[in-house]
Structure 1
Amino acid sequence: MNIWTKKSIELATQRNYLDLLYRVYPMSVNLRRELPNSTLINIRTAFDSRDGNALLKILLKQEVFPIKDSYVAYLKRDSSSIDRNPSTVQRLVGMLYEMGFDDIIDRTTVPKETNRQIGPLFKNWIKTGSLGVPVFTNATDFINAPENAVFDGSDAAMETFARNQLGYAHPKGLDFIAKFNGKYVIAEAKFLSDFGGHQNAQFNDAISTMQSNLAITDKEVIKIAILDGVLYIKGNNKMHKAVTTEFSDGEVIVSAVLLRDYLFSL
């Protein structure tokens, strides 16, 4: 186990880890989704006039459909199927009428889940300059910079740079590219909020990036995994077992809270 993984576990279990992590991943209050007033009027009109097809078509265009049903995704992707499947439409519309107008609106404007907010937060934190070095959005400026620096371009720009300059060929995108003391550092960054399912997949994605092979280039490239969350909780969970037993001293798994210290240690 790498020393920075040990430090991350110690941080999480002995200090105010969550308070520090909130600077990287600030969770905002989950505000309700909004519907334009014209959409609300159209929903009300279709509902009151019992125009089931119109009601269904309006609701299928919204970000969230008020009923969890396995057939909804199909109807969203092929609106013409509404006219060809009257029994399915009647079943769904009947459920909508039974819910009532207020409940339909309430479920259609349900707040976004917290984990949907997490995606851009790490890169937002990078943009603030919290690592104490210049942040470049242009690849040429980044590579020509004589000092330590971070490249924070678009997802496509970062992937192109990594493939063309750093020998990166893994199919996953990168969240982090930096250079410190002449060494380039690349990583995916994940906040693993719980155990199981999707979170295990996120963990595996970051690890596969860290362990991916690089083509030979004229640059020294270090692949790491920037991971935070429940993986540092001591116990029999799969992720903690993995980080404490399955990786060599040269495989760096580090909390974003310690990222600055790690980079300046290179």
Structure 2
Amino acid sequence: MSIDLANQKDYLDQLFKVYPLSPDSIRNIDPNIWERIVESYNKEDNTALINALLSLKLFPIKDGYVPFLRKDPSAILRNPQTVNRICGRVRELGLEKLFERCAEPKETNRQMGPLFRRWVNSGVLGVFPVSEDIFDSNNENAILNGSDSALLNYAIRKLGYKRDKGVDIIARFNGKYIIGEAKFISDEGGHQNAQFNDAISTIGTNAKNGVIKIGIMDGVLYIKPRKGEGTSKYRKITEKDIPVMSALVLREFLYSL
């Protein structure tokens, strides 16, 4: 059903309701931190400059030594040449470009988890998420509310889930418990392959008898091949009866149980 939907209908237009990406929304920069950056930049104080830049969530340049300095700020004073080298690259940008780099929006793949959760919380699946106390108080159709860690904790404690990640939704429909991991597979290769394999691992994770594990995946994995056998993702979800589906058919799946 998901493959047909992705290839025959306005799949992407519908999917935008689940994942309304906002690639142009810049990050907010604390004015006080930016003031420190400008001051240290103008005073040519590299130690103060790098300390101020490390206060931001996004460092303006890619450099393999920056994560070390984040984790061990004391290394800044011990390694002045490294600090000067990094700050030299920063100064090449100029203040205007530096601000743009610091304010760049999050990568779209990092927005997906919260967007899926927001979609679920809107009640689009027919029920609104409830607290653990209410969820456990009866056997009615329900979705469990909670943070990533809270859902994972519940899956391990109550549903016998044997993995330390991969829980984006816990639901109970028609007396059956469902654990699902949501992924948006935007392309082939690299990180996207890892995302796909992550969801497949969730499906294969042991849990109590009767607990249904599903991969709620959207994106390029549903594109039918024009030549040859298609992508490995397409082959994997079509060769075997793997419970993978688009978020757009999740409601229908839940009520069919």
Q: TM-score, normalised by structure 1?
A: 0.89
Partner of 2:217: 227
AA at the equivalent of 2:143: V
Amino acid of the structure 2 residue aligned with 1:222: I
Distance in 2 separating the partners of 1:134 and 1:62: 35
Give the drift of 1:173: 3.6
Match runs of 1:1-266 below 5 Å: 7-136=1-130, 138-216=131-209, 220-235=210-225, 236-245=230-239, 247-248=240-241, 251-266=242-257
Q: 1:154 to 1:33 in 2, by over 3 A?
A: closer
Contact 1:30 1:113 in 2 (8 A): no
CA deviations 1:79-114 (Å, max 9, x no partner) are: 111111122122222223332222222211222222
User: Following TM superposition, by how much is the alpha carbon of 1:159 offset from its aligned partner in structure 2, in angstroms?
Assistant: 2.0
Q: Is the contact between residue 190 and residue 203 of structure 1 (CA under 8 Å) also seen in structure 2? A: yes
Looking at structure 2, the residues matched to 181 and 99 of structure 1 have their Cα atoms a distance apart, in angstroms, of 58
Q: Is the 8 A contact 1:123 1:152 kept in 2?
A: no
Following TM superposition, the consecutive aligned residue runs of length 4 or more in structure 1 with deviations greater than 6 angstroms are none
Distance 1:180 1:36 in 2: 45
Aligned length: 253
Provide the identity percentage: 48
What is the alpha-carbon distance in structure 1 between the residues aligned to residue 233 and residue 75 of structure 2?
A: 43
Q: Which runs of 5+ in 1 are unaligned?
A: 1-6
**Cα distance in 2 for residues equivalent to 1:264 and 1:153:** 22
What is the CA distance between 1:134 and its match in structure 2?
Answer: 4.2
Conserved 8 A contact 2:168-2:180? yes
Letter in 1 for 2:36: N
1:194 Cα deviation after fit: 1.2
Provide structure 2 residue ranges, at least 5 long, that are not aligned to the other structure: none
Shift of 1:54: 1.2
CA distance in 1, matches of 2:128, 2:80: 60
User: Once the 2 structures are TM-superposed, how far is the Cα of residue 155 of structure 1 from its aligned partner?
Assistant: 2.2
**Secondary structure class of the residue paired with 1:100:** helix
Distance 1:98-1:149 versus aligned 2 partners, 3 A rule: closer
- Output the CA distance in 1 between the equivalents of 2:96 and 2:34: 11
- The structure whose RCO (Cα within 8 Å, separation 6+) is larger is 1
- Secondary structure at the aligned position of 2:113 is classed as coil
Q: Tell whether the 8 Å contact from 2:113 to 2:168 is kept in structure 1 after alignment.
A: no
Shift in Å at residue 152 of structure 1? 2.2
